[in-house]
Structure 1
Amino acid sequence: MSKRAMENVEESFKKQTNKRNKHWSLGLVESMKDPDAIYKETKNIVVIKDKYPKAKIHYLVLPYEEISSIYKLNKTHLNLLNEFGSMFNLIKEEHDSELQAGFHAVPSMQRLHMHVISTDMISPSLKTKIHWNSFTTSFFIPYEDLMRKLNENGFIQKISNETHKLLMSSPLKCNQCSFEPKNMPQLKQHLLTHIK
């Protein structure tokens, strides 16, 4: 193989490797480095604005330590997670909206992250039933519940594929009243009636 051909092969390999390393599921790691995305940070954690917010207020709290998901947590991480809770309290003090904090049972993005999200759920990025159910069913594990489970068991139990499918296909239901819309457009219209 000529030197030129070898250089072309190496260049092609580098491009493929870079593409693989920049898979969409790794996007949070990139956002952690973006000064425009960062809302707050400490020595151990960073808070970034969600690129596709599902409510008026939507942040992600991430550790600088490389932890891929809630399923890699153990009791040695309790201090780190206490800092997540302190940050949540700080964010609550800075906003007038009702906020909740929690984790998805099956995260789509690599890197442990806690959602801090307002309960209004009004956003152009909230488009699908899966988006809705990922924040309004038990698929969304509240911060306090995750802390309790980690304290008691020392780990977080994975949900089954069947449970995951069941939660994602749950009928739509307003998270603020008993209204059960037929579809997402009807739900989104209804959510506007809860704005004060």
Structure 2
Amino acid sequence: MPMTKENQNEISKPKKHWTMALVESMKDAELIYKDTERIVIIRDKYPKAKIHLLVLPKDNINSIYKLTSKDVALLEEFGEIFKLIQKEHKNHLLNAGFHAVPSMQRLHMHIISKDMVSPCLKTKVHWNSFTTALFKPYNDVLAELKQYGAIKEIAHDIYKTLKTTPLKCNQCSYIPKNIPQLKEHLLSHL
């Protein structure tokens, strides 16, 4: 293909790093579930459950570790959004929280149904990031922010231990050998 001005421009455009994908998703009308003056709620592109939404501030706050006491009102607004989503999805048990070690840029709260049934749930790390202390519940984060004005980061050795924690059903005492076994078992809870 001959080099033209158009395809030269495409080649020279800087690629956005994958960790910035949420910021781009906030602009995608197909992913936007709702928005307010300060918040955007999007559908997760790779949902790990039947319901998986992300609540993001329009302000550029990188993670829970960048929150200060000035952000309590914003986090309380996240909680109001969670209550609204719970009312809209009365037939699902929903959890709201933050990853202790987020992989994506931009503060985001997950609202995720307890079923954890999804083709996008593929690895032990995916599972453990929502079913161990790697998932910091919304109420705990809000309480910590109110009390200390900041959120304490998880120690690296604790992170390593939690991400390799053996699989266990989040709804009963079943202990599967692998993810396919776990996924098959989760269907019994529907």
Counterpart of 2:109? 114
User: Residues 12 and 121 (structure 1 numbering): CA distance in 2 closer, same or farther, change over 3 Å?
Assistant: closer
Shift of 1:86: 0.2
Taking the aligned partners of 1:75 and 1:154, their CA distance within structure 2 comes to 4
Tell me the SS of whatever aligns to 1:117.
strand
Instruction: Name the one with the larger helix percent.
Output: 1
Matched, 1:49 2:43: yes
Counterpart of 1:3? none
Taking the aligned partners of 2:83 and 2:156, their CA distance within structure 1 comes to 33
Shift of 1:12: 9.7
Shift of 1:161: 1.2
Counterpart of 1:102? 97
Counterpart of 1:178? 173
Runs of 4+ more than 6 Å apart = 10-13
- Taking structure 1 as the reference length, what is the TM-score of the superposition? 0.90
Tell me the SS of whatever aligns to 1:106.
coil
Tell me the SS of whatever aligns to 1:174.
coil
Matches within 5 A, 1:63-74: 63-74=57-68
Q: RMSD in angstroms over aligned alpha carbons?
A: 1.5
Matches within 5 A, 1:110-189: 110-189=105-184
Q: Size of the alignment, in residue pairs?
A: 183
Tell me the SS of whatever aligns to 1:130.
helix
Map Cα deviations across residues 13-48 of structure 1 (whole Å, 9 max, x no partner). Answer: 943xx11xx111000000101111100100000000
Question: What percentage of aligned pairs have identical amino acids?
Answer: 60
Taking the aligned partners of 1:76 and 1:14, their CA distance within structure 2 comes to 40
User: Residues 124 and 13 (structure 1 numbering): CA distance in 2 closer, same or farther, change over 3 Å?
Assistant: closer
Larger Rg: 1
Tell me the SS of whatever aligns to 1:182.
coil
Give the residue type in structure 2 aligned to 1:31: S
Shift of 1:128: 0.3
**Structure 1, unaligned runs of 5 or more:** 1-6
- Taking structure 2 as the reference length, what is the TM-score of the superposition? 0.93
Shift of 1:165: 0.6
Counterpart of 2:87? 93
Counterpart of 1:83? 77
